[in-house]
Structure 1
Amino acid sequence: MSQDLVKIRRALLSVSDKTGLIELATALDAQGVELLSTGGTAKAIRDAGLAVRDVSEITNFPEMMDGRVKTLHPMVHGGLLALRDNDDHIAAMDAHGIGAIDLLVVNLYPFEETVAKGGDYDDCIENIDIGGPAMIRAAAKNHGFVSVVVDVQDYDGLIDQMKANEGATDLAFRQELAQCAYARTGAYDAAVSTWMAGAIGKAAPRRRAIAGEFVQEMRYGENPHQSASFYSNGSERAGVATATQHQGKALSYNNINDTDAAFELVAEFDPKDGPAVAIIKHANPCGVARGATLAEAYEKAFQCDQTSAFGGIIALNQTLDGATAEQICNIFTEVVIAPEATDEAKAVFAAKKNLRLLTTGGLPDVLAAGQTWRQVSGGYLIQDRDNGFIGMDDLKVVTKKQPSEAELKDMFFAWKVAKHVKSNAIVYVKDGATVGVGAGQMSRVDSTRIAARKAQDMADVLGLPAPLTQGSVVASDAFFPFSDGLLTAAEAGATAIIQPGGSMRDDEVIAAADEAGLAMVFTGMRHFRH
């Protein structure tokens, strides 16, 4: 049976990350705790002038096999697993000279870091910890009597517990540590199994594991009656999970979802090719544009759908400057995310206390390999990230009319945006800016009509004689199953179409394009986004 307060008399420390080690060991020593340790950890403690016993002293076995075997021994695991209130366990400890271990402090071999740095197969295998997880699981199982610490950030909490309880920890604290410990070994095993599946070319292994590290708790989820929290998967890929928040209240569930969508979209546009801005509402773009400056790009994006932009998320592909910040402040905006922000821009936003500013230090690589996970009832759907790319050589002109150079440029722009619009997706683009977006409709022709309708609405707001879809190009994320969607786009003023092709009625659609005097290209690639 568990005890509430358990005094720590003997501790085993074995860590790869030496951060805070000496401070912790010093505090334990001051409490009269006997220190046991291994290898480099023991040396670091000893070099700091503290008394420490090598584990080999209590096992009577030296570390062997390049350190692979050092703690896998009954003298260690017996000390961690023995139930202190079980007479048989106590008798076994006495009979074999096994001393109790009341505290285990372990962080594991840096497997994840080795993978992230591009380590080869043998390096990664060598950095799979065995003894560490075994000890952690043993100590966590016996949390009724043993404290187990796997994270540096828990060192202070441990010392505070011991100071408050005359060198002891209470059961609730040990339970929290045990839960964290099992999560850590689970995450570690998930990282190893995921890496190994890739290393051996197993695209669909029989078993999968996922893990995450807590970032923050949400006030609620998509709706107030839903609880929610945010976890990081440990990836260093630039994005909302790695961003620094400079001001504003905590991000909500919907904020994070929409900010991720915005930043992934704007990353499609290489900053070397010029500034780009994306405005997102409910995970769909309501305006995307390039410009000579960020301020110009923002203005062009904003003019696509000013109504939807209110309360939206803005993503930029370059450093946010003061002039652009001033423009953004003209309407209410939830979040702005950019690689960096100038001091002037931060000063401008400082007056808008509810606006969140995030900087990431870079853009995510949209061509990088990776996977996305989605939960369904009873399971998960796992797929490769949509990093599909097309170049000029991938295009097939299927109409009599050839697209102009300007139309081709806008086609590529529209294609990149359509990839990030909920299907069925239709995107009108003119002069490097969206001028109409139709998203998430059950029929493609409805998306085409909605996008054209929004363009007409904005023409009325801006006092234009005609909507900007006149002379635009249009992108469709999937093929036109019938000619009606294409003809609707032509009626809206589109002069060129980019679409995947592949419909049973492609010939009918091509004939309709020729009759309407449109240029049309097939990409051979689809970009559904559900």
Structure 2
Amino acid sequence: MEKVALLSVYSKEGIVEFARELVSRGWQLLASSGTTKAIAGAGLPVRDVAELVGGGPILGHRVVTLSREVHAGLLSRDIDIAELEALGIPHIDLACIDFYPLGMEMTRPGSTLESVTEQTDIGGPTLLRSAAKGRRLVIGDPADRAMVLQWLRDGTANDPAKLRWLAAKAEFIVARYALLSASYLGEGEFAGLIGRRVHSCLYGENPYQGNAALYSLDTNDPLALERFELVEGEKPSYNNWVDLHRVLAVGAHLAAAQQLNLTTVQPFVIGVKHGNPCGATASQSEVLAVDLMVQGSRQAIMGGTVLTNRPVNDRSAHHLVWVGRPAGERRLIDVIAAPTFTDGAREILRRKHGKCRMLGNPALEHLGGPGTIDTAPLARPVRGGFLSQDNYTFVLDLRHPELRWYGTPTDDDRNGLILAWAVGAFSNSNTVTVVSGKGPSYLIGNGVGQQDRVTAAKLAIQRVREAGHDSKGAVAYSDSFFPFPDGAQVLVDAGIRAVLTSSGSVNDAAVIKTFQDAGVVLGMFPDKLGRGFYGH
């Protein structure tokens, strides 16, 4: 018995080539009217599915494939073959379907509820679900056509595991499409996440937490974590992916702020441990940037995650691993993300058992340009549901009309405060961040995750001293206002030269006086504009 394929696609790209190989393998083709025209126009034999259902499209093309004949051909079992034959209905073995571009219409300028409704596909999703339930060769993603053709060539297309996978993907595609429609129609009342597993992890945050994986939402974001290619080392762990996400947020906002304020993005290197930066710098010298990042906290960076916007070459890799370490003792880095790595760098960075994961993404070299800041809505699981909010899209603008200065910052102050803001605004709150005040700016102390502001300030200065740095003449960022002058006084006593924070405390006047009396340059923007809370 000849095999029968049903083809019904909105986008005709590649469909003729797909149909041609099916025909060459002896398949009969059924197709919707538009797809029939494309295939017949290429000189291939095809039957319009309207002939099967006894009529053409009706209701202004709203009803085409929604018929019992088509779905009987997709849902029938072996025991139903005789009944199909009596009814003159072919057994459909393959369904290649795509949908009206609902998402494009939703975001099209000038679109309306009526236009979105007209672009909401009903027949396509219904065909996919019937084909999935019938365990047919069901293709809802054009990228899978070549794979299915290869299965046909090598005789494995009827493998139950393959058919089950295709059915699962078809249901996934339909579910994502339906959720998109529900979210639009409900104006935010209905929401959800539907992802595709792209990386499995040995375990989760802790060894007893299984079923850990990275899922993709299939965006076009070149900086999506799935687009970081593992070029060396074992596959990243759950914690590695979390740290990469955190350090990428720091790097993206640092680049965006540099581009906005300095009109150029400098080479930078950022190191994080447990999600919080412990070293960071921006310098015209890539090797110096590596050295200054490490100096932030030589102790904390061990086993950390490093991100840079410049290719890692042999020299920068050598400095990252060996410079500043006792003879014969290498610096252990768990993850390094960079645009590219030279072969020599990979050799230098390589650790036993692949413990140094090197992840390449050329898009890192273009941070600061369009798409640098992630604007996708954020969702966070909580017991019984999830919380949702807009993304962290605030970028520091030192010339913003609502940013009020008490004193005039120098160029060194501005450079340092940009780095301090990028680090502090993406560290666990409450945070006070201290950055060197002269020359290439680099992180020298990060007081993170404190329940009160004064302790965050004390911790930042403590970390400065423990790392062997001097806070005199440094600059600082506080991710929210000082509720009392005591935290401000800690920074004054440590010799901090310039501070960036927010306003909104009932004690703002006293805080301002504390800094002014000590000759500290102070910049304050309204808490509602640029508060930097993160990691709650």
TM-score interval w.r.t. the shorter chain?
0.7 to 0.9
In 2, distance between residues paired with 1:273 and 1:52? Answer: 56
Report deviation, 1:386: 1.1
Give SS of 1:176's match: helix
Q: Which moved more, 1:418-427 or 1:129-138?
A: 129-138
User: 2:164 maps to which residue?
Assistant: 175
Structure 2 stretches of 5 or more lacking a match? 323-330
Q: Which moved more, 1:435-444 or 1:98-107?
A: 98-107
Which of 5, 8, 14 pairs up with 1:11? 5
- Does structure 1 conserve the Cα–Cα contact (< 8 Å) formed by 2:432 and 2:479? yes
Identity between Structure 1 and Structure 2 (%): 29
1:528 aligns with 2:511: no
Q: Which moved more, 1:185-194 or 1:470-479?
A: 185-194
Deviations 1:465-489 (A, max 9, x none): xx33111111110112222222222
Q: Which moved more, 1:252-261 or 1:502-511?
A: 502-511
Which of 289, 300, 308 pairs up with 1:297? 289
Given the two structures, how large is their TM-score scaled by the length of structure 2? 0.82
Evaluate the alpha carbon distance shift between residue 163 and residue 495 of structure 1 in structure 2; reply closer, same or farther with a 3 A threshold.
Answer: closer
Evaluate the alpha carbon distance shift between residue 358 and residue 367 of structure 1 in structure 2; reply closer, same or farther with a 3 A threshold.
Answer: closer
- Does structure 2 conserve the Cα–Cα contact (< 8 Å) formed by 1:264 and 1:366? no
Give SS of 1:309's match: coil
2:216 partner amino acid: S
In 1, distance between residues paired with 2:278 and 2:430? Answer: 15
- Does structure 2 conserve the Cα–Cα contact (< 8 Å) formed by 1:276 and 1:318? yes
- Does structure 2 conserve the Cα–Cα contact (< 8 Å) formed by 1:106 and 1:132? yes
Report deviation, 1:515: 4.0
Evaluate the alpha carbon distance shift between residue 20 and residue 273 of structure 1 in structure 2; reply closer, same or farther with a 3 A threshold.
Answer: closer
In 2, distance between residues paired with 1:426 and 1:148? Answer: 55
Evaluate the alpha carbon distance shift between residue 480 and residue 293 of structure 1 in structure 2; reply closer, same or farther with a 3 A threshold.
Answer: same
Give runs of aligned pairs for residues 341-420 of structure 1, distance below 5 A: 341=340, 345-353=342-350, 354=354, 355=356, 356-361=358-363, 362-363=366-367, 365-367=371-373, 369-391=375-397, 392=399, 393-397=401-405, 402-420=408-426
- Does structure 2 conserve the Cα–Cα contact (< 8 Å) formed by 1:267 and 1:317? no
1:53 aligns with 2:43: no
Report deviation, 1:512: 2.9
Give SS of 1:306's match: coil
User: 2:125 maps to which residue?
Assistant: 133
1:434 aligns with 2:436: no
- Does structure 1 conserve the Cα–Cα contact (< 8 Å) formed by 2:484 and 2:507? yes
In 1, distance between residues paired with 2:266 and 2:73? Answer: 63
In 1, distance between residues paired with 2:3 and 2:315? Answer: 62
- Does structure 2 conserve the Cα–Cα contact (< 8 Å) formed by 1:14 and 1:37? yes
1:334 aligns with 2:334: yes
In 1, distance between residues paired with 2:120 and 2:408? Answer: 57
User: 1:232 maps to which residue?
Assistant: 216
1:262 aligns with 2:283: no
In 1, distance between residues paired with 2:378 and 2:390? Answer: 6
Query: How many residues in Structure 1 have an aligned counterpart in Structure 2?
Result: 499
Report deviation, 1:82: 4.2
In 2, distance between residues paired with 1:149 and 1:51? Answer: 21
In 2, distance between residues paired with 1:322 and 1:19? Answer: 44
Give runs of aligned pairs for residues 135-154 of structure 1, distance below 5 A: 135-143=127-135, 146-152=136-142, 154=144
Structure 1 stretches of 5 or more lacking a match? 1-6, 460-466
Evaluate the alpha carbon distance shift between residue 196 and residue 263 of structure 1 in structure 2; reply closer, same or farther with a 3 A threshold.
Answer: farther
Give runs of aligned pairs for residues 53-72 of structure 1, distance below 5 A: 53-63=47-57, 69-72=63-66
User: 2:492 maps to which residue?
Assistant: 490
- Does structure 2 conserve the Cα–Cα contact (< 8 Å) formed by 1:284 and 1:420? yes
User: 2:91 maps to which residue?
Assistant: 100
Q: Which moved more, 1:475-484 or 1:62-71?
A: 62-71
- Does structure 2 conserve the Cα–Cα contact (< 8 Å) formed by 1:329 and 1:349? no
Report deviation, 1:96: 5.0
Which of 425, 431, 449 pairs up with 1:425? 431
1:280 aligns with 2:272: yes
Evaluate the alpha carbon distance shift between residue 160 and residue 277 of structure 1 in structure 2; reply closer, same or farther with a 3 A threshold.
Answer: closer
